Amino acid sequence: MGQVNNNRSGSRQGMVRSEQLLGEKGELVIVHGQSEYRLRLTRQGKLILTK
């Protein structure tokens, strides 16, 4: 995954664009511990994280 370097100091660690994470489907499943979370892009262009 590509990183975006766009702050004043020129180094922004751990930053990615939502398009890179969500892909064409506009959705990503995140496994955290024993739980799964779904990050998705709405029709209005907002991000929603649900369990």
- Contact (Cβ atoms closer than 8 angstroms) between residue 13 and residue 1: no
pTM value > 0.85: no
Burial string for 21-49 (b: 16+ CB within 10 Å, else e) reads eeeeeeebeeeeeeeeeebebeeeeeeee
The residue among 40 and 1 whose pLDDT is bigger is 40
Q: Flag whether pLDDT at 43 surpasses 70.
A: yes
What is the average pLDDT across 19-43? Answer: 97
- CA nearest to 38, candidates 20, 22, 15: 22
Q: State residue 13's pLDDT score.
A: 80
Q: State residue 28's pLDDT score.
A: 97
Q: Flag whether pLDDT at 15 surpasses 50.
A: yes
What is the average pLDDT across 16-33? Answer: 96
